[in-house]
Amino acid sequence: MRTLLHRLFGLTRTRSFDAAGGGRRWEGARTVDGLNTAILAGATTAARRAGWYARNNPWVAAAVDSLVGNVVGAGIKPQSTHPDRAVRERLQVLWLRWTDHADPGGLADFYGLQAMAVRAMVEGGESFARLRVVPDAPAVPLHIDLLDRDQVPLDLHRDIGGGARIRAGIEFNGAGQRTAYWVMRDRPGDPLTPLRLEPLRLPATDCLHLFKPLAAGQLRGITWLAPVLLRLHELDQFEDAALVKAKVAALFTGFITDPDGTAGGLAGTNINGALTVGMEPGSLIPLPPGTDIRFSNPTEHDAYAPFVKNHLRAVAAGMGLPYELVSGDLEGVTYSSIRAGLIEFRRRVEQLQHNVVVHLFCRPVWDRFVRLAVLSGDLPAHDFDRDPAAYLGCEWLPPKFDYVDPKKDVEAEILAINAGLKSRRQAISERGYDAEQVDAEIAADKARTDALGLSFGAPPVQKEDIPDE
């Protein structure tokens, strides 16, 4: 009977995947039972370790700076898609006036806040921000308060009735939608701050939660250094051991074999059994019978450089960066190899820019900015009510990547435009600029140079220069 049931339900089948097999080869292998379970158990410890390495390890500091510089650069900037050019220009003027006042602390403009939020996401796995309306603001009355990840308690879980519950400091309704964040008023551990343990409930529409989702239903983020932290720790230990070995070896000049304990009659200072003797070039020192000096010849670690380089390659791969950007080592790099590596890296960066930073951070800010501009009277309310989607429509333009070979890449772009494979607007937008603004500046430049009788660029082709057919 048991055999029949096994056959009916397919229980007699064997595992065809080695990855799901057993035996001694899989002894000690680890598995992840659930991403949220793993994050709740270890995300805070991993984030604090990552923060320490980001401030004390030169390789990690370079990697984090490189990620922030490539993802944000000078800023991911908005370009309104409103069909009316006058409205687009008005929105641009209001936005430029507001960006300098986005940070209530005055440490950065909006694009600086972008960089700080992305840095916190890389180091700690996530960053939070609060959208706050402020009265008597010199521009659109909107402030962005960046929050520490520890201000949203990871261990706060509670059923609040009606199918709603708090999970990891985030409140969900019965449909599984995020409705609020429970936030500590002060950063835990900050000196000279009052101890207020009860968190404050903030509506989800007023909060930004920036993290890279790895799986559906993920609650909180995990540091981007998680795959490499243990390797970095052991690499630090190896470098410390190698350095101490080199220092100890350099301290010894030689060893004296002396039967009568007089240090061979050498004059010098004897401190705790170590003799310090001054020597000059060409010195001949007579030694008593039976006395001998053997000079230290410490061995070097022949595998030090390859070992460190191999580990740094693994660290770079784990953080999604080319090895050259982490180490600064360009030895043996060719144009083709660096170009191939940067192309793949830039695909990852574009994915992060549009799928993470723009979606979770930039778009909510633009939405709140436009609505507050309408409420404050900077934009006509009747036009907005008639077509709010037109006012809220926006393209976000990341900074253009620098060329590896500017001449070749620009020539290829010109060929693509001339062949009709892309438009000038698309090419200009990819550089992070507004096509209409660029065209207006070109027209203004041309009018000014014509008025002054100036001429730049290639000279026009004259009729007499054209050869006869």
Model pLDDT for residues 28-50, shown as the tens digit of each residue: 778 877 888 888 888 999 999 99
Do 325 and 437 reside in the same domain of the chain? Answer: no
Amino acid at 418: N
Residue 469 is predicted with a pLDDT of: 45
Q: Which residues pair with 254 in a beta bridge?
A: 295
Number of domains forming the structure of the chain: 2
Residues 439 and 414 in one domain: yes
Pair (347, 367) in one structural domain? yes
Token pair listed for 24: 């001694």
The dihedral built from the CA positions of residue 98, 102, 104 and 109, taken in this order, carries a sign that is negative
397 neighbors 433 (Cβ within 8 angstroms):
yes
Q: pTM for the complete prediction?
A: 0.80
- Note whether 334 and 218 are same-domain residues: yes
Residue 126 phi, psi dihedral angles, 5° rounding = -165, 160
For residue 380, give its domain range.
35-154+185-190+206-227+319-400
Q: Are residues 330 and 375 in the same domain?
A: yes
Q: Is residue 112 part of a domain?
A: yes
Burial of 67 (0-12, 13-18, 19+ CB in 10 A): buried
Q: What CA–CA distance (Å, rounded) separates 372 from 206?
A: 13
Domain assignment present for residue 268? The answer is: no
Is 440 a member of any domain? yes
Q: Is residue 167 in some structural domain?
A: no
Query: What pLDDT score does 434 carry?
Result: 76
Examine the domain organization and report whether 376 and 413 are in the same domain.
no
Q: Note whether 446 and 335 are same-domain residues.
A: no
Looking at the structure, do residues 360 and 436 belong to the same domain, yes or no? no
Q: Is there a single domain that holds both residue 381 and residue 423? A: no
Distance CA 194, CA 175 (A): 37
For 314-343, write each residue's pLDDT tens digit: 888 888 888 888 877 777 777 777 777 788
380 in a structural domain? yes
Has residue 54 been placed in a domain? yes
Task: Return the amino acid letter for 423.
Answer: S
Is residue 1 assigned to a domain?
no
- Residue 214 sits in the same domain as residue 100: yes
pLDDT (tens digit, 9 = 90+) per residue, 334-386?
Answer: 777 777 778 888 889 899 999 999 999 999 999 999 999 999 888 898 888 88
Decide the pairing of beta strands 126-133 and 207-211.
antiparallel
Based on the fold, state whether residues 92 and 108 are members of the same structural domain. yes
Whether residues 214 and 123 fall in one domain: yes
Percent above pLDDT 90 for the chain: 33
Task: Calculate mean pLDDT across residues 241-250.
Answer: 75
**Residue 265, in any domain of the structure:** no
